[in-house]
Amino acid sequence: MMTILKLLCNVALVTATMTGPTTALAASIAQPADFSAQAAALLDAAYPADGPGAAVVVMLGGRVIFSGGRGLADLEARRPITPDTAFRLGSITKQFTAAVILQLVAERRISLDDPISRFFPDYPQPGARATVRQLLNHVSGIQDYSKIPGWMGGEQSLRPNTTADLVAVIRSRPSPSAPGQRWEYNNGGYTMLGAIIEQVSGKPWHQAVTERIAQPLGLATIAYAGKVEGDPATARGYGEEGGRQRPARGVHISVAHAAGGLVGSVSDMARWAQALHHGRVVSPELYREMIRPARLANGSTEPYGFGLRLRQIRGRPVLVHGGAGRGLDTDSAYIPSEDLFVAVFSNSDDAATDPAMLVRRLAALALGEPIPTFTRADIDLRSIEPLFGAYEAKDGPPRRFLARDGKIYIGRGVEEVELFAAGDDRFFDPGGLTWLKIARRADGAHVMEIHRPDAAAADRAVRTGPAPAALAVSPEVLQDYVGSYATEGPVVTVALNADGGLTIAPAGQNPLAMRAVSETEFRIEGGMMRVVFHRENDEVNRLTIYRGARELHGRRVSR
């Protein structure tokens, strides 16, 4: 679900202010005296007791100030989740892969500037020029097998794959871009790093993680997922199917490889964070490399280090990373200035609450700056009609605040997110953490105050006039798009609704409304997906569905 957090946040590049952890600052936080009770209430409200749930840990200054579990690790066995339950980590695995690589750098066995061709001499250009550093921060440009149309979920991804198998898939396709040209999240890049670890160490990548990290640090639950499948200490993964949570089915665990193939508990994740961010895993010099933004060939940067995203919470630099996949959703955050770590691991890919949202709520609460919660108020849209319009901020892009089809939206650029009214001219994103209030200035102008979880203070925007009219696409063009399209997954059907707008529906699911942002591109209302129709020889026979970095390609099979 697209959240207003993702829509409105102007992500700051954290560079000079992102340093190692400080000490003795935790005591200065105005943390509520009943923090543990409030944290437990947040956890209980986020997940049901009788379904897939989550484990939580909050560590401040090296001391766990809250940990807990909610829900069931195994629905059939009725086994409860605890802070020691192991979960599939997903892409949080990348931190461990990066750390092993940096240890090999410290031993002078490899260099961050070594190209792929050093390890794989016959790797095709231009990917052969990509360096270890570029693999680590997602600017290598090499093929990502998880984005090859039809490969994920196809026959090869459902069976065991060796490292050599996955490397062969990656190198079999041309590099989408030259090394350093653009940033793009790349699971294939981290699989290549796993292959480099194996070539240099002579051991499977996950054995290197075990011997170099898990065992020395006493992290008993950090292990290769392929070795613990069915282990009662590991949570089973679930997903929504037919209105019920059922065991998740997906690609073989070997496919996740060094990009996402580990399991671990939140308790061990806290111990890992304490060791990593306090110099017990890599040297200070290499740690600084790990938390430095990715740099592209044109000199621009992206807020991603080595297995760590560089973000902000309440105006403070934060190192975050999550993982997602069939039967899992995980997130974690470390705030160096306060030596504060929070992790939330869920065993469902359709979790009742996005773990990233709960991580931010718990972090803000621990900082003594809690994010408010709101209850939806039933209001007459006509009563707030004067508030709708275009809003200009001193810094940042313009916004639009509008009502359409009985719903309230805020938009920026081509994106829109539905808001709920909370009363008193306050509005909130039901799926996120950002909220806004509109007040009348002394001169009569309406001022929008936008409160974002990443910012220390509210953004302000002033109403300048009516909201721009929605883009209109002719009925003839819309009719051209109607039909059924076969994708690598389900068949999807594009149709016209009663109002003449387009909807899209995967087989067996309810139709979703789409909003035009150009004559060929549409956004799915309330979601982070977009649909692009392709015209060939004056006919529309193909579409592409984008969701984050994922792509689904469809070819028309009927009209």
d(CA 516, CA 501): 9
| Residue 361: burial class (beta carbons within 10 Å; 0-12, 13-18, 19+) | buried
pLDDT at 1 over 50: no
Do 387 and 361 belong together in one domain? no
Residues contacting 280, CB < 8 A, separation 6+ = 217, 274
Task: Tell whether 346 is covered by a domain.
Answer: yes
Residue 30's pLDDT is what? 74
What mean pLDDT do residues 268-294 have?
98
Percentage with pLDDT > 90 across the chain: 76
Query: 255 lies in which domain range?
Result: 31-366
With vertex at residue 439, the alpha carbon angle to CA 433 and CA 443, rounded to the nearest 5 degrees, is 150
Q: What is the 3-state secondary structure (H, E, C) of 470-529?
A: CCCCCHHHHHHHCEEEECCCCEEEEEECCCCCEEEEECCCCCEEEEECCCCEEEECCCCE
Residue 22 lies in a domain: no
Average pLDDT, the chain: 91
pLDDT at 9: 34
- Tell me if 372 is assigned to some domain: no
CATH of the domain at 552: 2.40.128.50
Whether 373 is in a domain gets the answer no
Two structure tokens written together for 538:
């004056």
Of 63-67, 248-252, 454-458, 459-463, the range with the lowest mean pLDDT is 248-252
Domain match, 423 and 297 both: no
Total Cβ atoms within 10 A of residue 182: 16
pLDDT band for 368, please (50, 70, 90 cuts): very high
How far from 314 is each of 63, 305, 365, 412, 512, CA to CA, in Å? 22, 21, 10, 22, 34
Both 119 and 200 in one domain: the answer is yes
Does some domain include residue 409? yes
Per-residue pLDDT tens over the stretch 305-335: 999 999 999 999 999 999 999 899 999 999 9
Shared domain for 59 and 168, answered yes or no, is yes
3-state secondary structure of 417: strand
Local confidence band at 24 (pLDDT 50, 70, 90 cut-offs): very low
pLDDT of the residue at 471 = 86
- Encode pLDDT of 50-109 as tens digits: 999 999 999 999 999 999 999 999 999 999 999 999 999 999 999 999 999 999 999 999
Residue 13 in any domain: the answer is: no
> Are the C-beta atoms of residues 467 and 43 closer than 8 Å to each other?
no
Give the ranges where 177-260 is alpha helix by DSSP (H): 187-201, 205-209, 215-217, 225-228, 257-260
For 19-73, give the DSSP string: -SPPSS-GGGS---TTHHHHHHHHHHHHS-TTSS-EEEEEEETTEEEEEEEESEE
Please indicate, yes or no, whether residues 96 and 119 belong to a single structural domain of this protein: yes
User: What is the C-alpha separation between 268 and 275, in angstroms, rounded?
Assistant: 11
Task: CATH number of the domain at 399, please.
Answer: 2.40.128
Evaluate whether residue 374 is within a structural domain: no
- Examine the fold and report which residue of 433, 465, 497 is the final residue of a domain before the chain moves on: 465
Measured distance CA(151)–CA(363) in Å, rounded: 38
Which pLDDT score is estimated for 12? Answer: 31
Predicted local confidence at residue 552, as pLDDT: 82
Could you tell me the CATH number of the domain that includes residue 87?
Answer: 3.40.710.10
Q: What is the pLDDT of residue 3?
A: 36
Q: Is pLDDT larger for residue 499 or for residue 34?
A: 34
Indicate the residue among 437, 465, 493 that finishes a domain: 465
Residues 235 and 93 in one domain: yes
- The mean-pLDDT minimum among 127-141, 252-266, 469-483 falls in 469-483
Does one domain contain both 217 and 295? yes
Residues 282 and 389 in one domain: no
Asked whether residue 281 falls in the same domain as residue 149, the answer is: yes
Are 520 and 403 in the same domain? no
Number of domains composing the chain:
3
User: Which residue among 366, 389, 417 closes a domain?
Assistant: 366
Residues 420 and 528 placed together within one structural domain of the fold = no
For residue 2, tell me if it sits in a domain. Answer: no
Closest CA to 279 of 267, 268, 291: 291
Q: What pLDDT does 550 receive?
A: 67
Residue pLDDT, tens place only, 170-181: 999 999 999 999
CA-to-CA distance for 543 and 42, rounded, in angstroms? 41
User: Does residue 337 share a domain with residue 311?
Assistant: yes
Q: Rounded distance, CA 528 to CA 30, Å?
A: 36
Mean pLDDT for the stretch of residues 221-231: 88
